[in-house]
Structure 1
Amino acid sequence: MTHSAAPPGRPSGTPPRGRITERASCVLAPNPSPMTLDGTNTWLLAEPDAELAVVVDPGPLDEGHLRAVTETVAERGQRVGLVLLTHGHADHAEGATRLAELTGAPVRALDPALRLGDEGLAAGDVVTTGGIELRVVGTPGHTGDSLSFHLPADAALLTGDTVLGRGTTLVAHPDGRLGDYLDSLRRLRSLTEGDEGAHTVLPGHGPVLADAQGAIDYYLAHRADRLAQIESAVNRGLLTAAQVVADVYADVDRAVWPAAELSVRAQLAYLRAHGYPTARPDA
């Protein structure tokens, strides 16, 4: 689930399809909406000569989409060896059980309720199915169970809904927390530094971003600006989430106001914890 308001100065781009990097390909799910942008990006990861592929975020329970995923893998002489989930929102995870039925592959996720098989998934884990190396990065904030994956061989970050290819994401209060989200962005930012840092974002929605560091810097600046706007609104006596959304998000498509309200609640909770007792995140 995303908040799709496009920030100024960011090109809209086109959704990724087919091979994007040496090891990463995308199959776009047919679930476009104001909340999912062009649809969910299902990522297929494999070493060029490997027998097994890793699928990240199978997307919705859509038989045609899941068939396209398995057929794309088979066309390359491979089979699905593992399914990974960045988080549990239905537009990313709903198809996981069915894909496991079709392929026999286990499903690994941070949330035990989403797992199929004996192994979980946690920050610091390294996934090596089919010889590929994926480093698991804890990135809570959008949701409490959000993870990202670092693919160092392609200098890429698979960010789920933590960083999108277009627009900005929501912090899904109360499960998502703004403080956690800011820490997660800084954690991803640290992975873009140095000569061997990641430079490409492979997001859960929207186009690929070739400047990972610039994208994350934009996200951090955007969050700081939004928080300042909401702080100003609270100082002017707009204390409830609905009041703040109508004021701060007046120029944003009303179709995403419900999502914006979740983010506003998360920001009001953050302000309340940082010296604004009049902020009312649950009002």
Structure 2
Amino acid sequence: MSAAPALPASMRVFERGWLSSNNVLLVDEARTALVDTGYATHAGQTLALVRHALGPRALDVVVNTHLHSDHCGGNARLQAHWPCATLIPAASAATVRDWDEARLSFLATGQTCERFAFTGTLAAGDRLALGGFEWEVIGAPGHDPDSVMLYASAPRVLISADALWEHGFGVIFPELDGESGFAEQHAVLEAIAKLDVRTVIPGHGKPFTNVEAALERAFSRLAWLRAEPARNAKNALKVLIVFKLLEVRAMRFDSLVAMLESAASMRAAAQRLAPRAAWPGLLRELTGELAKSGALVMNGEHLEAPAAAV
């Protein structure tokens, strides 16, 4: 097992399990900042982690790479505890200001997020001074059209969010709605390849240094998805089913069918895989595959999260 890559003392990564994204705490003499805040049901844990790490200091800034529920679900709890500034991608500003639930992804994915405010925005080319280093904001559409990454050239660290993991990347959600996402994801991977990166802090999983190998795997997976877009839709449905089950711990199969009808992203994925009349059969097929892989447990009409899942 490889050792965790060394990071500057001003950077600390809270590696979270599902349902939350990783959190990156950046501390210098001027201010403290947290990049991404995890899922709503883990908000108390996020607050406890940050309070323990900061001691008597306050959290000054929250930075969101994008506004999927597992990356911003702790915003409201942190804002309630500290009067912290909050920076979100500029392209998401109007949606958050109006709390437009038709455009926010939370209802569409069957997930939750407590309403939060923001004080500023991030756009490609912006510069942030955090943790004693200057970070460049880099656009990262693909997984999410509004997503950004943060890159610090001095320590050669990339906070990649869901644009690059050690073994893949996040679901390409725009493609579910018939919008372009594969091409954008390819361009983001090419942009990462041009950076001088020693360590990647991904949205999920441990930080890693084998960047070239991770990019090779990501390009290969992207080509596989583009060759048959139904693969992306099937992966999206599986991810969203498992996410919901990890949140609620158990649910009836008919509740999952109802969720498919009400959650727009799940519905869009299903429409790419089968006609509406066949959706119950599609869900039985997918939950069966997930049960075989150990991602869930099936007891008749009841679905349960694995006992070992946290």
Instruction: Give TM-score scaled by structure 2 length.
Output: 0.61
State the 1:65 CA deviation.
2.1
CA contact (8 A) 1:165 1:203 kept: yes
Q: Measure the CA separation in 2 of the matches of 1:81 and 1:201.
A: 24
Query: Could you say what the CA RMSD is over the residues aligned between the two structures, in angstroms?
Result: 3.5
| Larger helix proportion of the pair | 2
1:204-233 alpha-carbon deviations (Å, 9 max, x no partner): 1011111223312321122123323x28xx
Larger relative contact order, structure 1 or 2 (CA cutoff 8 Å, min sep 6) = 1
Cα pair 2:167 2:218 within 8 Å, conserved: no
Partner secondary structure for residue 219 of structure 2? helix
In structure 2, C-alpha distance between the alignment counterparts of 1:177 and 1:254, rounded to whole Å? 17
Query: Match of 2:101?
Result: none
Does the Cα contact within 8 Å between 1:88 and 1:114 map onto a contact in 2? no
Q: What whole-Å deviation, never above 9, does each CA across 1:181-216 have from its counterpart, x for those lacking one?
A: 11111111111xxxxx11211011011111223312
Q: Does 1:224 align with 2:223?
A: yes
Alignment check: 8 A CA contact 1:148 1:157 kept:
yes
Quickly say closer, same or farther: Cα 1:154–1:22, change in 2 above 3 A.
Answer: farther
What residue in structure 1 maps to residue 290 of structure 2?
Answer: none
Q: What is the TM-score with the length of structure 1 in the denominator?
A: 0.67
Q: Is 1:177–2:181 an aligned residue pair?
A: yes
Unaligned runs of 5+ in 2: 98-116, 243-264, 276-310
1:107-122 mapped onto 2 (5 Å cutoff): 107-110=86-89, 111-112=92-93, 113-114=95-96, 116-122=117-123
- Alignment identity in percent? 24
* Counterpart secondary structure, 1:128: strand
- Alpha-carbon distance between aligned partners in 1 of 2:274 and 2:157, rounded to the nearest angstrom: 37
Give 1:52 deviation, angstroms: 1.4
Q: Which stretches in structure 1 are left out of the alignment for 5+ residues? A: 1-10, 192-196, 232-240, 267-279
Q: 2:222 and 2:239 mapped to 1: Cα distance?
A: 17
CA distance in 2, matches of 1:157, 1:129: 13
Count matched residues. 223
Deviation at 1:176, TM superposition (A): 6.7
Superposed displacement of residue 40, structure 1:
2.0
Deviation at 1:172, TM superposition (A): 0.9
Equivalence for 2:13? 26
Instruction: Write the deviation string for residues 232-277 of structure 1: whole angstroms up to 9, x where unpaired.
Output: xxxxxxxxx4xx679xx7xx89944869xx79x89xxxxxxxxxxx
The AA in structure 2 aligned to 1:66 is L
User: What is the distance in 1 between the residues matched to 2:38 and 2:180?
Assistant: 20
Partner of 1:269: none
